């Protein structure tokens, strides 16, 4: 039997494979909520933390891991820093000690590194035309991930598209001051909401 655990601990570099965490998001109608990501691993030689982000949009905290829809990714797995310098630190909602990387189709995850193609933990040489087909080796800043998450429901990118800055409308780019303020406000709002849920959960527990 899978030993799945409720968590609500801060997401950090100490995350464990299989940890499920929230990412602030807006759906295509502009409603505030979140999507859920899963931590896969720290890629060897510390080039970044590998995560995947799922497509389902939530406005309420799932009560169990069985309520987390992992059937479809929002985009292909990416690397990230797990450094929360600009926004509040996201929370791990559930941990799964029995998680195995095969659940993330790990052997098929591919990232383009300059002249190398990294696939399922192994690197091989590749030509430029081949590398263009895959996610590049950008190590995403955490608030920039919110920009990327919001670009997919908006129809700018599909689930198999790599992120192309020039396809993003100017008012939604990471270097647009107004867009950045909107993302920061979204992150603050979701942090406050999860803190509220945590307080409600704590208050509902019977006193010993």
Q: What is the pLDDT along the chain (208 residues), one digit of tens a residue?
A: 345 567 789 999 999 999 999 999 999 999 999 999 999 999 987 789 999 999 999 999 999 999 999 999 999 999 999 999 999 999 999 999 999 999 999 999 999 988 889 999 999 998 888 888 888 899 999 999 999 999 999 999 999 998 899 999 999 999 999 999 999 999 999 999 999 998 888 887 777 6
Q: Are 17 and 101 in contact (CB under 8 A)?
A: yes
In a domain, 168, yes or no: yes
Please count the structural domains in the chain: 1
Answer whether residue 131 is part of any domain: no
Domain assignment present for 122: no
The Cα 40–Cα 52 span in angstroms is: 7
Residue-range definition of the domain harbouring residue 53: 5-106+136-204
- Domain assignment present for 11: yes
129 domain residue, yes or no = no
Q: Is residue 165 part of a domain?
A: yes
Please check whether residue 19 lies inside any domain of the structure: yes
Q: Is 154 inside a domain boundary? A: yes
Structure tokens at 75: 């985009």
For residue 27, count CB atoms less than 10 angstroms from its CB and return exposed for 0-12, middle for 13-18, buried for 19 or more. middle
Task: Identify whether the C-beta of residue 55 lies closer than 8 Å to the C-beta of residue 37.
Answer: no
């Amino acid at each position: 039997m899978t030993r799945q655990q409720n968590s609500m601990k801060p997401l950090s570099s100490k995350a464990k494979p299989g940890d499920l965490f929230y990412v602030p998001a807006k759906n295509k109608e502009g409603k505030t909520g979140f999507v859920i990501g899963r931590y896969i691993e720290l890629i060897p030689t510390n080039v970044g933390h590998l995560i995947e982000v799922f497509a389902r949009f939530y406005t309420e905290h799932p009560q169990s891991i069985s309520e987390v829809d992992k059937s479809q990714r929002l985009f292909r797995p990416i690397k990230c820093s797990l450094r929360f310098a600009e926004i509040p630190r996201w929370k791990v909602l559930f941990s799964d000690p029995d998680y195995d990387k095969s659940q993330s189709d790990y052997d098929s995850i591919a990232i383009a590194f300059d002249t190398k193609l990294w696939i399922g933990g192994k690197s091989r040489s590749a030509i430029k035309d081949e590398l263009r087909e895959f996610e590049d080796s950008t190590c995403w800043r955490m608030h920039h991930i919110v920009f990327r998450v919001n670009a997919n429901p908006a129809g700018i990118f599909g689930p198999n598209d790599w992120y192309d800055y020039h396809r993003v409308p100017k008012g939604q780019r990471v270097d647009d001051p107004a867009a950045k303020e909107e993302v920061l406000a979204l992150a603050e709002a979701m942090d406050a909401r999860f803190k509220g849920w945590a307080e409600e959960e704590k208050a509902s527990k019977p006193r010993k």
